[in-house]
Structure 1
Amino acid sequence: MAMMTGAEALTSSLAREGVEIVFGLPGVQIMEALDAIYRQGKLRWASVRHEQTAAYMAYGYARTTGKVGVALVVPGPGALNATAALGTAYATSTPVLLVSGQVESYNLGQQRGALHEVADQSQVFQPLTKWCHCVRKVEEIPGAVRQAMLKLKTGRPRPVELEVPWDVMQASAPAEIPEPEPVSPAPVEPAQIEAAAQLLASAHHPIIWAGGGVIGSDGSSELTEVAQRLNAPVITTPEGKGAIPGDHPLSLGTFYYGFGPAKWALAQADVILVVGSRLYFRGAAPWAFAQDQKLIQIDIDASEVGRNHPVQLGIVGDARTVLSTLAEVLPPASSSWQPEELEKIKDAVTAELEEVAPLQLSLVRAIRAELAEDAILVPGVTNVAYWGHLAYPVKRPRTYLTSSYFATLGFAFPTALGAKVGNPKRQVVALSGDGGFMYALPELATAVQEGLSVVNIVFVDGAFGATLHDQERRFGGRIIGTRLHNPDFASLAETFGARGIKLSRPEELGGALRAALGEKRPTVIEVPLPTLATPF
């Protein structure tokens, strides 16, 4: 064993586990860790202007690369600032490790008023993490990091929070950095696979419902293979976009708040294969599952199977592993679906969307037309992004990042920065509203400093648009708290050293995006919009 400080044990363990970059904001209880990063030269460090951004960048990095994203913050206010992003990672089953400094070990639980002290800080993170832990000795750090990584890489990949007290960072002791352990998915019960294959092979109109679990397991190719073997159309959730290429003949599109192909297709289904989805419908759905429809649900988390709807067969396992095994035993396609039926459903979806959201669809199409097939889009909590869930065709997995049910206002821009760090050669675009962009606007400085040529499209209607629309629709037009005063976003971007483009009409977006994608620096495109109807 080598003598090392707690900070050295922490950074060495992270590097040994394959971590490449740490996002964070310097502060007194973690300065030893920053110094270790500097001296060891094994990890890259990226400073941000708010701890929420550190965790969001870790989130965007993790979602697009499949690797663990790591953020490092001080305890108390720093850790608490990161909770919204950590909650987003929890909602989307994303492997984010938040390393928090802590007060001195002798001050833990004493409530003396130590700097940044929060009594029982780990209790704050218990509902937001898969595991949280505070180490007390230098010797414990390598094992704690190893345990954190196992939690992040096995089962359902939800976030982890690890705390290291300040005096433990500084102390020295003999410590051994273990080699990473290989992680393999648990084997699948053959009898369950056979039962699923029999149900699906006997179906006349099978449908596949694909959620974020397909993306998280890197099971898109396997899902597409199963769909082709069954001749089964696929409906995705927003989190599952990319589970099958959006232009594949069997891709029907996405269900979101009652819109999408489900109301035309599901009524015809006799067997529904649900993969990596909670199957929880927010908002009113214009249909319901019938008693004679058989549901097969595949999920890595046993607690999700049958939680929201009764199932005929539940299979607990990694989506990619289960789908791969299922594809091997399925007979050739035998369903009754005809290509013209599926095209008719797609046409009906498009016609409905054109009727209710023509401007939003034109903007979504303009964005898609300018982006490469492997471009990454981060649709924020803003009107055009809502309709993008339904109308933006995703051609590759891990290229469309939502905040899922957490619906975190302000997540898009900082998440896009993390995605760009992990994918420096790919186009990365964020869709923000004028309300949401203000959450992380100072991170334009981070984007410039780190050389991240992200394009942030800001749709400006001078309001928290969804809630203003709600006041107009449900509260008799009594407007309070939803109108906004905004800066000139394009001019403000220029003061940071980014490029700013201010449009006079929404129709100019395509050309502006084309120009922005050619820039070697971050760009903000300001797009004027009226307040528009939402899908919900």
Structure 2
Amino acid sequence: MAKMTGGQAIVRTLVNHGVDTIFGLPGVQLDNTFDALYEAKNQLRTIHTRHEQGAAYMALGYAQASGKIGACIVGPGPGLLNAGAALCTAYGSNVPVICIAGQIPSNQIGLGLGATHEIIDQSSAMRGVVKWVGRADQPSDTPAVLHEAFSQMLGTRQLPVIFEMAPDIMGKTEDVSLMDVEDYDAAPEPDETALEEAAKLLGDAENPMIFVGSGVFGAEAELQRLAELLEAPVIMSRTGRGALTDRHYLAQNMITGQGLWETADVALVIGTRFSSPGLAWGREGDVKLIRIDIDPAQAKLPREADITAITSAKKAMPVLLEKIEPRNKKRESRKSEMNAAKADTIAKLEGLNPQFGFGKVIRDALPEDGVLVTDVTQMATYMQNWMPVYQPRTLITPGYQATLGYGYPTALGAKVALPEKKVVCIAGDGGFMFNVQELSSAVAHNIDVTCIVFADKAYGNVKRFQKEGYGGRHIAVDLHNPEFAKMAETYGMTGIYADGPDALAAALKETMDTPGPALIEVPIGEVPNTWALIKRPSSAGNKS
């Protein structure tokens, strides 16, 4: 037990849990905690941003790229609401982010007096955004409340949490007993009976398939061994790309998976929502479904499986492998079939230009362990489906939240987490402007990310929808842009205008060879529709 302020208790607990970087903005309701961050600056790096949304996205990118905890600190009320888009993206992508949030003075909470940054019941407002919200009302409460925060964030399905403290409590000094760090993994032990049944079903299957998302990360070697035993294609969601290297003939994307689904008889679904196949691919009564998922609620969606094991992939896969080997039927190699299916999809995607021309340049420039972060733009959709991915956590997306403006600050966080790796962001001109202010943060902290802004002077996806679905009645989609490359130079970074794939290749070579943040502006016109190749449930609830 030692005397410390509430702010010091927060910071020391974070440090004890291995948090080495926190992104955020200071403010009057956080001053006492930022003073504690100053004291701990040799143990915990503070990266200040220009907007709370940028701070939370950087924490998200840090966690997505590294698999470690991402941390941010923001003021209460509007500051926390500003961070909300990033926190709901972390929730949708199953990413462990802890947000330290300020509050109004403790004696004013809930009174509606109009305190600075006060909103009605901040805690309840955020419970619809993150998994858990908790507040420490005394400095001595801090270790226990943060212990619960880490338990909620890491125990089973990894999800974001919010920890609150009032400014006067952050500054109050009292005796505090810090708690020991635990292994918070609370995944249930595998259900041996369920996995026995799964092994029998898979072992007898004629055309099994495996579907994975980011929930399989940590069990990549077991995944490859299982796929090879079953000669089963591994269909990777956008967030699961790289779980099996794309050099492997069994590694397939969702577009190829659509065709293979037509002859499948058993599907093993590991750590993924299974939304598109479950809702849009049909054959519900023809394909037996096995789910391995850490979340019992999610495992029932979008439909009940025939066999369900509630546990983590890391715990389940070794047991399943052990049970399936003696039960697996003799199988002929499907290498020729799988390579042909993959080649067919690639041919369709490579027929889409200019996306293929630009995409090939980006893949050629990015090392195999380099990280591509995609915003919500037509080039991003293309890259998520076409680009070969060789390692997990090297294609980073916003998942189903599809949060416009996600890309650039998330890429900055990824680079902070992985300073030795190359990080490239692709964004459209619409989404990029959501967080354009973080160009300043990139320069201030020398975060070496190259951002490629594909500029079509429109919200391109929406403009295409209006053309194809509403007879070209365009409204609220055309944009007036700055000259992005010149704007980047005014921030003190490299700015290059690159018209066409050859110019982009030259610009990428220059930025990859030269340390420091950079922006490449690429003009682009109307492009073919990648979504036309993808079966998925309508985001607008339309029948078609």
Shorter-chain-normalised TM-score: which range? over 0.9
**SS of the residue 1:302 aligns to:** coil
Deviations 1:335-368 (A, max 9, x none): 455211112211221232234x232122212111
* Equivalent in the alignment of 1:436: 431
* Equivalent in the alignment of 1:334: 330
Superposed displacement of residue 21, structure 1: 0.9
Once residues 310 and 488 of structure 1 are traced to their aligned partners in structure 2, the CA distance between those partners, rounded to angstroms, is: 52
Q: Is the 8 A contact 1:270 1:292 kept in 2?
A: yes
* Equivalent in the alignment of 1:224: 224
Once residues 513 and 338 of structure 1 are traced to their aligned partners in structure 2, the CA distance between those partners, rounded to angstroms, is: 38
The yes-or-no answer on 1:28 pairing with 2:24 is no
- The residue type paired with residue 376 of structure 2 is V
Once residues 261 and 119 of structure 1 are traced to their aligned partners in structure 2, the CA distance between those partners, rounded to angstroms, is: 48
* Equivalent in the alignment of 1:176: 177
- The residue type paired with residue 163 of structure 2 is L
Deviations 1:280-302 (A, max 9, x none): 129984x4124232110111110
* Equivalent in the alignment of 2:469: 474
**SS of the residue 2:127 aligns to:** helix
Once residues 113 and 59 of structure 2 are traced to their aligned partners in structure 1, the CA distance between those partners, rounded to angstroms, is: 33
Q: Is the 8 A contact 2:361 2:501 kept in 1?
A: no
**SS of the residue 2:3 aligns to:** strand
Deviations 1:258-285 (A, max 9, x none): xx11232111111111111111129984
The yes-or-no answer on 1:37 pairing with 2:31 is no
* Equivalent in the alignment of 1:524: 519
Q: Is the 8 A contact 2:63 2:70 kept in 1?
A: yes
* Equivalent in the alignment of 1:201: 203
* Equivalent in the alignment of 1:63: 64
Deviations 1:203-241 (A, max 9, x none): 1111111112113xx222221121122221111111111
Once residues 219 and 497 of structure 1 are traced to their aligned partners in structure 2, the CA distance between those partners, rounded to angstroms, is: 43
**SS of the residue 2:210 aligns to:** strand
* Equivalent in the alignment of 1:512: 507
Q: CA RMSD in A?
A: 1.5
Once residues 475 and 263 of structure 2 are traced to their aligned partners in structure 1, the CA distance between those partners, rounded to angstroms, is: 45
Which of 262, 283, 297 is the aligned partner of 1:303? 297
Gaps of 5+ in 2: 532-544
* Equivalent in the alignment of 1:458: 453
Once residues 474 and 58 of structure 1 are traced to their aligned partners in structure 2, the CA distance between those partners, rounded to angstroms, is: 38
Q: Is the 8 A contact 1:132 1:160 kept in 2?
A: yes
Q: Is the 8 A contact 2:290 2:306 kept in 1?
A: yes
Superposed displacement of residue 7, structure 1: 0.7
Matches within 5 A, 1:315-326: 315-326=309-320
Deviations 1:427-450 (A, max 9, x none): 001010001111111111111111
Once residues 483 and 337 of structure 1 are traced to their aligned partners in structure 2, the CA distance between those partners, rounded to angstroms, is: 52
Gaps of 5+ in 1: none
**SS of the residue 2:300 aligns to:** coil
Deviations 1:466-505 (A, max 9, x none): 0111111112111211001111111111111110010122
* Equivalent in the alignment of 1:238: 238
* Equivalent in the alignment of 1:106: 107
Once residues 40 and 243 of structure 1 are traced to their aligned partners in structure 2, the CA distance between those partners, rounded to angstroms, is: 37
Moved more, 75-84 or 276-285: 276-285
The yes-or-no answer on 1:281 pairing with 2:276 is yes
Once residues 119 and 512 of structure 1 are traced to their aligned partners in structure 2, the CA distance between those partners, rounded to angstroms, is: 49
**SS of the residue 2:128 aligns to:** helix
Superposed displacement of residue 307, structure 1: 1.5
Superposed displacement of residue 248, structure 1: 1.0
* Equivalent in the alignment of 1:426: 421
Superposed displacement of residue 125, structure 1: 1.0
Moved more, 471-480 or 70-79: 471-480
* Equivalent in the alignment of 1:535: 530
Q: Is the 8 A contact 1:61 1:421 kept in 2?
A: yes
Q: Is the 8 A contact 2:204 2:329 kept in 1?
A: no
* Equivalent in the alignment of 1:8: 8
Q: Is the 8 A contact 1:506 1:528 kept in 2?
A: no
Superposed displacement of residue 511, structure 1: 2.3
Deviations 1:35-80 (A, max 9, x none): 1111233211000000001100000001111111110011011101
Which of 347, 353, 363 is the aligned partner of 2:358? 363
- The residue type paired with residue 363 of structure 1 is F
- The residue type paired with residue 306 of structure 1 is K
Moved more, 457-466 or 141-150: 141-150
**SS of the residue 1:127 aligns to:** coil
- The residue type paired with residue 90 of structure 1 is Y
Once residues 384 and 40 of structure 1 are traced to their aligned partners in structure 2, the CA distance between those partners, rounded to angstroms, is: 42
* Cα separation, partners in 2 of 1:29 and 1:394, compared to 1, 3 Å: same
Once residues 49 and 188 of structure 2 are traced to their aligned partners in structure 1, the CA distance between those partners, rounded to angstroms, is: 38
* Cα separation, partners in 2 of 1:232 and 1:325, compared to 1, 3 Å: same
* Equivalent in the alignment of 1:387: 382
- The residue type paired with residue 241 of structure 1 is R
Once residues 350 and 121 of structure 2 are traced to their aligned partners in structure 1, the CA distance between those partners, rounded to angstroms, is: 52
- Between the aligned residues of both structures, percent identity stands at 38
Superposed displacement of residue 316, structure 1: 0.8
Once residues 334 and 67 of structure 2 are traced to their aligned partners in structure 1, the CA distance between those partners, rounded to angstroms, is: 36
Superposed displacement of residue 124, structure 1: 1.6
- The residue type paired with residue 170 of structure 2 is M
How many pairs were matched up? 527
Matches within 5 A, 1:107-146: 107-146=108-147
- The residue type paired with residue 162 of structure 1 is F
Once residues 472 and 52 of structure 1 are traced to their aligned partners in structure 2, the CA distance between those partners, rounded to angstroms, is: 32
TM-score for the superposition, normalised by structure 2: 0.94
TM-score for the superposition, normalised by structure 1: 0.96
Once residues 62 and 213 of structure 2 are traced to their aligned partners in structure 1, the CA distance between those partners, rounded to angstroms, is: 20
Q: Is the 8 A contact 2:452 2:521 kept in 1?
A: yes
* Equivalent in the alignment of 1:92: 93
* Equivalent in the alignment of 1:313: 307
Q: Is the 8 A contact 2:278 2:303 kept in 1?
A: no
* Cα separation, partners in 2 of 1:312 and 1:335, compared to 1, 3 Å: farther
The yes-or-no answer on 1:81 pairing with 2:82 is yes
* Cα separation, partners in 2 of 1:126 and 1:282, compared to 1, 3 Å: farther
Matches within 5 A, 1:138-177: 138-177=139-178
Once residues 142 and 297 of structure 1 are traced to their aligned partners in structure 2, the CA distance between those partners, rounded to angstroms, is: 36
